[in-house]
Amino acid sequence: MKEINSVKIEFLSRSSNESFARSTMAAFAAQLDPTLDELGDIKTSVSEAVTNCIVHGYPDTLGKIQLRARIFPDNSIEITVRDWGRGIADIDAAREPMFTTGGEERSGMGFTIMESFMDKLRVRSSTGRGTTVTMTRRISPRAQLRAAK
Protein backbone atom coordinates (compact mmCIF):
# COMPACT_ATOMS: atom_id res chain seq x y z
CA MET A 1 0.00 0.00 0.00
CA LYS A 2 1.34 3.43 -0.91
CA GLU A 3 1.80 5.97 1.86
CA ILE A 4 -0.14 9.23 1.71
CA ASN A 5 2.20 11.17 4.00
CA SER A 6 5.54 10.59 5.71
CA VAL A 7 8.14 12.19 7.94
CA LYS A 8 11.69 11.27 8.92
CA ILE A 9 13.83 12.88 11.61
CA GLU A 10 17.14 12.10 13.28
CA PHE A 11 18.39 13.17 16.68
CA LEU A 12 21.04 12.30 19.24
CA SER A 13 20.41 9.64 21.87
CA ARG A 14 19.99 12.16 24.70
CA SER A 15 17.22 11.42 27.18
CA SER A 16 15.86 14.95 26.63
CA ASN A 17 15.04 13.96 23.03
CA GLU A 18 12.60 11.25 24.13
CA SER A 19 9.88 13.85 24.81
CA PHE A 20 10.70 15.52 21.47
CA ALA A 21 10.19 12.22 19.62
CA ARG A 22 6.97 11.51 21.50
CA SER A 23 5.52 14.98 20.79
CA THR A 24 6.59 14.91 17.15
CA MET A 25 4.86 11.58 16.52
CA ALA A 26 1.73 12.76 18.34
CA ALA A 27 1.60 15.86 16.15
CA PHE A 28 2.11 13.80 12.98
CA ALA A 29 -0.50 11.18 14.00
CA ALA A 30 -3.04 13.91 14.81
CA GLN A 31 -3.94 14.19 11.11
CA LEU A 32 -5.63 10.77 11.47
CA ASP A 33 -7.99 12.26 14.08
CA PRO A 34 -7.20 9.68 16.77
CA THR A 35 -8.98 9.51 20.11
CA LEU A 36 -7.01 10.63 23.15
CA ASP A 37 -6.54 6.97 24.09
CA GLU A 38 -5.17 6.10 20.63
CA LEU A 39 -2.85 9.10 20.73
CA GLY A 40 -1.69 8.14 24.22
CA ASP A 41 -0.92 4.60 23.04
CA ILE A 42 1.18 5.93 20.16
CA LYS A 43 3.05 8.38 22.39
CA THR A 44 3.79 5.71 24.99
CA SER A 45 5.00 3.23 22.36
CA VAL A 46 7.31 5.81 20.79
CA SER A 47 8.65 6.70 24.25
CA GLU A 48 9.42 3.06 24.97
CA ALA A 49 11.16 2.50 21.63
CA VAL A 50 13.27 5.67 21.87
CA THR A 51 14.14 4.98 25.51
CA ASN A 52 15.32 1.49 24.49
CA CYS A 53 17.67 3.09 21.94
CA ILE A 54 19.05 5.49 24.54
CA VAL A 55 19.41 3.01 27.42
CA HIS A 56 20.29 -0.20 25.59
CA GLY A 57 21.53 0.82 22.13
CA TYR A 58 23.91 3.51 23.33
CA PRO A 59 24.48 2.87 27.06
CA ASP A 60 27.93 4.48 27.24
CA THR A 61 27.95 6.89 24.30
CA LEU A 62 25.86 9.27 22.24
CA GLY A 63 24.56 7.94 18.96
CA LYS A 64 22.03 8.67 16.27
CA ILE A 65 18.34 7.69 16.43
CA GLN A 66 16.13 7.84 13.36
CA LEU A 67 12.37 8.17 13.67
CA ARG A 68 10.20 7.63 10.60
CA ALA A 69 6.43 7.64 10.29
CA ARG A 70 4.18 6.85 7.36
CA ILE A 71 0.43 7.24 7.04
CA PHE A 72 -1.54 4.94 4.76
CA PRO A 73 -5.00 5.20 3.12
CA ASP A 74 -6.49 2.61 5.52
CA ASN A 75 -6.08 5.20 8.33
CA SER A 76 -3.02 3.45 9.76
CA ILE A 77 0.31 4.81 10.89
CA GLU A 78 3.60 2.94 10.76
CA ILE A 79 6.36 4.22 13.03
CA THR A 80 9.95 3.04 12.74
CA VAL A 81 12.57 3.76 15.39
CA ARG A 82 16.14 2.87 14.44
CA ASP A 83 19.53 3.07 16.10
CA TRP A 84 23.02 2.02 15.05
CA GLY A 85 24.09 0.98 18.53
CA ARG A 86 24.85 -2.25 20.34
CA GLY A 87 22.06 -4.36 18.92
CA ILE A 88 20.13 -7.14 20.64
CA ALA A 89 21.80 -10.53 20.98
CA ASP A 90 18.55 -12.45 21.61
CA ILE A 91 15.39 -10.70 20.36
CA ASP A 92 13.07 -13.43 21.67
CA ALA A 93 14.46 -13.05 25.21
CA ALA A 94 14.35 -9.24 24.96
CA ARG A 95 10.64 -9.38 24.07
CA GLU A 96 9.82 -11.40 27.20
CA PRO A 97 8.18 -9.37 29.99
CA MET A 98 10.61 -8.32 32.76
CA PHE A 99 13.74 -8.98 30.66
CA THR A 100 16.22 -6.11 30.77
CA THR A 101 19.88 -5.41 30.27
CA GLY A 102 19.50 -1.94 31.77
CA GLY A 103 19.97 -2.69 35.46
CA GLU A 104 17.60 -2.92 38.41
CA GLU A 105 15.98 0.45 37.76
CA ARG A 106 14.58 -0.77 34.40
CA SER A 107 11.26 -2.66 34.32
CA GLY A 108 11.92 -4.79 31.24
CA MET A 109 8.42 -4.06 29.93
CA GLY A 110 9.26 -1.88 26.89
CA PHE A 111 8.51 -4.38 24.12
CA THR A 112 5.51 -5.74 26.04
CA ILE A 113 4.04 -2.24 26.26
CA MET A 114 4.69 -1.53 22.58
CA GLU A 115 3.11 -4.85 21.64
CA SER A 116 -0.02 -4.21 23.71
CA PHE A 117 -0.54 -0.61 22.52
CA MET A 118 0.11 -1.13 18.81
CA ASP A 119 -1.53 -3.51 16.31
CA LYS A 120 1.77 -4.89 15.04
CA LEU A 121 5.36 -4.85 16.30
CA ARG A 122 8.42 -6.03 14.40
CA VAL A 123 11.96 -6.00 15.83
CA ARG A 124 15.10 -6.51 13.75
CA SER A 125 18.57 -6.33 15.22
CA SER A 126 22.19 -7.22 14.60
CA THR A 127 24.74 -7.29 17.39
CA GLY A 128 27.07 -4.33 16.99
CA ARG A 129 25.03 -2.84 14.15
CA GLY A 130 21.84 -1.62 15.78
CA THR A 131 18.13 -2.23 16.11
CA THR A 132 15.05 -1.29 14.12
CA VAL A 133 11.59 -1.38 15.71
CA THR A 134 8.58 -0.99 13.43
CA MET A 135 5.14 -0.44 14.96
CA THR A 136 1.79 -0.16 13.19
CA ARG A 137 -1.52 1.12 14.50
CA ARG A 138 -4.80 1.56 12.65
CA ILE A 139 -6.82 4.52 13.86
CA SER A 140 -10.59 4.10 14.02
CA PRO A 141 -12.37 6.77 11.97
CA ARG A 142 -14.30 9.05 14.35
CA ALA A 143 -17.49 8.97 12.28
CA GLN A 144 -17.64 5.19 12.76
CA LEU A 145 -16.99 5.56 16.49
CA ARG A 146 -19.83 8.06 16.88
CA ALA A 147 -22.24 5.87 14.88
CA ALA A 148 -21.42 2.85 17.07
CA LYS A 149 -22.47 4.63 20.28
Structural domains of the chain sorted by starting position, each given as residue range(s) with its CATH number in brackets: 5-148 (3.30.565.10)
User: Where does the pLDDT of residue 47 fall: very low under 50, low under 70, confident under 90, or very high at 90 and above?
Assistant: very high
pLDDT in tens, 104-145: 554 556 677 888 899 999 999 999 999 999 999 999 887 555
Q: What is the mean pLDDT of the chain?
A: 87
pLDDT digits (tens, 9 = 90+) for 61-109: 999 999 999 999 999 999 999 999 999 876 666 666 555 555 555 455 6
Q: Are 118 and 137 in contact (CB under 8 A)?
A: yes
Q: Which of 68, 75, 95, 106 is catalytic?
A: 106
Catalytic residue among 48, 70, 86, 137: 48
Q: What is the pLDDT of residue 93?
A: 62
pLDDT for res 40: 96
Question: Is 52 marked active-site?
Answer: yes
What per-residue confidence (pLDDT) applies to 91? 65
Active-site entry in 17, 38, 52, 82: 52
Residue 142 is predicted with a pLDDT of 72
Encode pLDDT of 16-25 as tens digits: 999 999 999 9
Q: What is the pTM of this model?
A: 0.85
Q: What angle do CA 40, 10, 37 make, to 5 degrees?
A: 5
